[in-house]
């Protein structure tokens, strides 16, 4: 490696896992997976100790559905291709609430940096990519709880959702995947700006464009061409599309290339973002 | 045992125009407790960051247990335990959970985890608090938990960056005792930084006094005292080697970090 930084490339924990001081030798991939889950489980445990956050987070999506959704469906101003507007909106709000929860994940890593937790993790034999992915999967679980709240709320106000084991499993998959994408994106920002104040500024600036330049609350066919292009490059669009296919009866099918494209774009985005973030992560300790 | 476990040769770290560590050459032997002393901004924490692979050196070399901190950083990380100056235990987890995650990250086999964690908790006198959230712990308990976290995998070298900053005298005493017991039990080398001279004198076999990124004096505390004069105290030694320092760059960050840590502990 020409680079002087002590970070290793993604996944290359080198021999980090053949435990000279700890335990027996484990294959690289097994150790990577185990450590990713160890970090993720840590995040989930914190959530279990203090679930109040989840309740307050549910307020915003509730307002979108109850206020914005109700008003807009009365006016019938948005052409959804036949579906009731609230039905059309629900997967969008689902994705939005996941985005909002994930995009501020970076703030927790800045907090952990100020505390010294990041330093200690970086000085342990844990691949940087496992630190990043583990945190992002933790955000995924957090988002999963949030998604359940939004879906129950939608059902309560009479939105027609397809609820069967397969669609629920599919929704869970795309919620976790989407949350991991945006949370990793958020960690990258945190690695660059490093302070809470700057992070809050950048986070606010990015969230709204990501949301509005997507198909979350209106179909992209209504957008001017320039915005359509942005929307096509926006991972949120693919997440919303997948959720609509899964949840709305008669929207579009889940078999076929478009649905696979949704999963492919999100997975590719995650791999690239984790790779970038693993490179930047050691900067947090400097 | 006396093979060196830490070796640095002409180690340098620059931040822009400022040279935080300037051609540092030293060795620390297995089983030795070695103190890095110096005023705020003298470069102590920068040395620790380079040796724990968190910060790449600008020039020179350093190795831990024979592994180069840059080229073999992954191997180095297996060999060391590190307690940063800031509070690094997670307040939103219990003491047990804090230890569990590090047992997983340090490749301690699943079958041994519970036993090792139990022993570490008992060793640090924390078994009754194991299921409590760490944010309910006292400052001394948090430090002891952090030391337990960083020694679960029985490191060959333990880095303690100002382990007793912000602690009351009783808590400080308990941390000293644990450090001494750790050493007699595992024969690990310990490299610590501190501002408390009596702490260095009490715990360390050898100390290096740093001034402006360089080693101004190195040796056993008693020998350093004798070199200054027949009745010299360790304070006299410290002052002798550091008093001509102008205010240093980097001191602001260090002081602010220390105050933050103290506030959280207090």
Q: What is the pLDDT of residues B14-66, one digit of tens each?
A: 999 889 999 999 999 998 999 999 988 888 999 999 999 999 999 999 999 99
Q: Could you tell me the CATH number of the domain that includes residue B60? A: 3.40.50.300
Within 8 A of B92 by CB-CB distance, chain A residues are 46, 49-50
Asked if A75 reaches chain B (Cβ–Cβ under 8 Å), the answer is no
- Per-residue pLDDT, averaged over A230-239, amounts to 95
The answer to whether A282 and A194 have CB atoms below 8 angstroms apart is no
Please state, in angstroms and rounded to a whole number, the distance separating the CA atoms of residues A15 and A20.
10
- Reported as a pLDDT band with limits 50, 70 and 90, residue A72 is confident
DSSP for B186-216?
H--EEEEE-S-HHHHHHH-SEEEEEETTEEE
Sheet with B80-83, strands from edge to edge, namely: B80-83, B157-161, B189-193, B33-38, B206-211, B214-219
Tokens matching residue B233: 């105290």
- The ipTM (two decimal places) reads 0.89
Please state, in angstroms and rounded to a whole number, the distance separating the CA atoms of residues B158 and B174.
18
Please state, in angstroms and rounded to a whole number, the distance separating the CA atoms of residues B90 and B156.
24
In a domain, B147, yes or no: no
The DSSP 8-state label assigned to residue A195 in this structure reads S
pLDDT tens-digit readout, A242-259 = 999 999 887 777 777 889
The torsion of the CA quartet B57, B214, B24, B196, rounded to 10 degrees, works out to -90
DSSP helix/strand/coil, B101: helix
In a domain, B143, yes or no: no
Does residue A189 have a pLDDT over 50?
Answer: yes
Nearest CA in chain B to A282: B54
In a domain, B140, yes or no: no
Please state, in angstroms and rounded to a whole number, the distance separating the CA atoms of residues B191 and B241.
20
Q: Look at chain A and report how many structural domains it folds into.
A: 1
Poorest-pLDDT segment among A46-55, A76-85, A261-270, B6-15: A76-85
In a domain, A8, yes or no: no
Residue A135's nearest CA partner among A183, A178, A195, A68 is: A183
pLDDT tens-digit readout, A104-143 = 889 999 999 988 899 999 999 999 999 999 999 999 998 9
Within 8 A of B59 by CB-CB distance, chain A residues are none
Domain hosting B40: range is 4-87+155-265
Please state, in angstroms and rounded to a whole number, the distance separating the CA atoms of residues A190 and A178.
18
Handedness of CA A69, A70, A75, A81 (dihedral sign): positive
Please state, in angstroms and rounded to a whole number, the distance separating the CA atoms of residues A284 and A118.
7
The DSSP 8-state label assigned to residue A65 in this structure reads I
Q: What percent of chain B has pLDDT over 70?
A: 94
The answer to whether B225 and B35 have CB atoms below 8 angstroms apart is no
Handedness of CA B258, B260, B262, B264 (dihedral sign): negative
In a domain, B134, yes or no: no
Tokens matching residue B122: 């008992």
Of B105, B150, B153, the CB nearest to A38: B105
At a CB cut-off of 8 Å and minimum separation 6, what does B231 contact? none
Helix (H) / strand (E) element for A272: namely helix A257-280
pLDDT tens-digit readout, B212-249 = 889 999 999 999 988 888 888 888 888 888 877 655 55
In a domain, A150, yes or no: yes
CB contact under 8 A, A15 and B75: yes
Please state, in angstroms and rounded to a whole number, the distance separating the CA atoms of residues B48 and B60.
15
Of B54, B75, B97, the CB nearest to A286: B54
Token look-up 């690990």 returns B188
Token look-up 């200690």 returns A120
Of B70, B78, B86, the CB nearest to A20: B78
DSSP for A127-186?
-HHHHHHHHHHHHHHHHHHHHHHHHHHHHHTT-----SHHHHHHHHHHHHHHHHHHHHHH
Of A14, A42, A119, the CB nearest to B84: A119
The whole-angstrom distance between B66's CA and the closest CA on chain A is 13
Domain hosting A197: range is 28-285
Within 8 A of A31 by CB-CB distance, chain B residues are 107
Position B212 scores a pLDDT of 87
In a domain, B144, yes or no: no
Q: Helices marked H in chain B — which ranges?
A: 44-51, 73-79, 95-105, 110-123, 139-151, 169-186, 197-203, 221-228, 234-242, 251-265
In a domain, B106, yes or no: no
Residue B80's nearest CA partner among B51, B100, B105, B57 is: B51
In a domain, A202, yes or no: yes
Tokens matching residue B195: 């501002």
Cβ atoms < 10 Å from Cβ of A214: 27
pLDDT tens-digit readout, B178-194 = 888 888 887 889 999 99
Position A55 scores a pLDDT of 75
In a domain, A13, yes or no: no
Please state, in angstroms and rounded to a whole number, the distance separating the CA atoms of residues B200 and B146.
20
In a domain, B190, yes or no: yes
In a domain, B121, yes or no: no
- For an interface test with B, which of A119, A135, A282 has the most B Cβ atoms less than 10 Å from its Cβ? A119
Tokens matching residue A231: 């929307």
């Amino acid at each position: 490696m020409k680079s002087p930084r002590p970070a290793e490339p993604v996944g290359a924990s080198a021999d980090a896992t053949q435990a000279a001081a700890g335990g027996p030798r484990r294959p690289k991939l097994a150790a990577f997976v185990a450590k990713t889950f160890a970090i993720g489980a840590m995040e989930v445990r914190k959530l279990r100790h203090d679930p109040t956050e989840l309740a307050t987070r549910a307020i915003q999506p509730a307002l979108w559905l109850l206020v914005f959704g109700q008003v807009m469906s009365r006016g019938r101003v948005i052409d959804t291709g036949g579906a009731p507007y609230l039905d059309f909106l629900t997967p969008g709000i689902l994705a939005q609430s996941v985005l909002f929860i994930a995009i501020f994940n970076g703030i927790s890593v800045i907090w952990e940096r100020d505390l010294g937790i990041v330093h200690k993790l970086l000085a342990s034999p844990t691949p940087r990519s496992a630190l990043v992915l583990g945190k992002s999967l933790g955000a995924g679980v957090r988002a999963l709880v949030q998604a359940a709240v939004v879906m129950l709320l939608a059902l309560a106000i009479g939105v027609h959702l397809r609820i069967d084991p397969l669609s629920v499993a599919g929704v869970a998959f795309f919620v976790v995947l989407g949350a991991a994408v945006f949370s990793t994106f958020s960690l990258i920002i945190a690695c660059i700006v490093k302070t809470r104040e700057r992070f809050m500024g950048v986070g606010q600036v990015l969230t709204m464009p990501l949301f509005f330049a997507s198909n979350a609350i209106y179909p992209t066919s209504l957008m001017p061409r320039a915005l359509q292009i942005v929307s096509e490059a926006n991972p949120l669009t693919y997440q919303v599309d997948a959720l609509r296919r899964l949840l709305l009866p008669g929207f579009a099918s889940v078999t076929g290339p478009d649905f696979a494209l949704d999963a492919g774009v999100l997975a590719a985005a995650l791999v690239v973002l984790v790779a970038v973030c693993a490179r930047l992560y050691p900067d947090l300790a400097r | 045992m006396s093979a060196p476990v830490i070796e640095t040769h002409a180690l340098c770290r620059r931040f822009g125009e400022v040279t935080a560590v300037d051609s540092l050459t030293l060795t620390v032997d297995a089983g030795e407790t070695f103190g890095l002393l110096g005023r705020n901004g003298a470069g102590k924490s920068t040395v620790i960051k380079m040796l724990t692979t968190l910060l790449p050196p600008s020039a020179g070399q350093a190795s831990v247990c024979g592994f180069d901190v840059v080229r073999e950083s992954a191997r180095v990380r297996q060999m060391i335990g590190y307690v940063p100056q800031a509070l690094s235990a997670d307040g939103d987890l219990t003491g047990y959970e804090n230890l569990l995650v590090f047992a997983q990250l340090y490749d301690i086999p699943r079958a041994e985890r519970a036993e090792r964690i139990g022993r570490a908790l008992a060793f640090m006198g924390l078994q009754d608090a194991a299921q409590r959230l760490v944010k309910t712990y006292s400052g001394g308990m948090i430090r002891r938990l952090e030391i337990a976290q960083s020694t679960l995998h029985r490191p060959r070298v333990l880095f303690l960056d100002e382990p007793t900053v912000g602690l009351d005298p009783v808590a400080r005493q308990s941390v000293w005792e644990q450090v001494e017991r750790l050493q007699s039990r595992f024969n690990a080398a310990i490299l610590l930084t501190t501002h408390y001279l009596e702490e260095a004198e009490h715990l360390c076999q050898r100390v290096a006094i740093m001034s402006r990124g360089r080693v101004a004096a190195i040796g056993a505390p008693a020998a350093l005292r004798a070199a200054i004069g027949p009745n010299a105290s360790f304070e006299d030694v410290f002052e002798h080697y550091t008093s001509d320092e102008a205010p240093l760059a980097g001191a602001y960050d260090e002081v602010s970090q220390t105050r933050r840590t103290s506030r959280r502990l207090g």
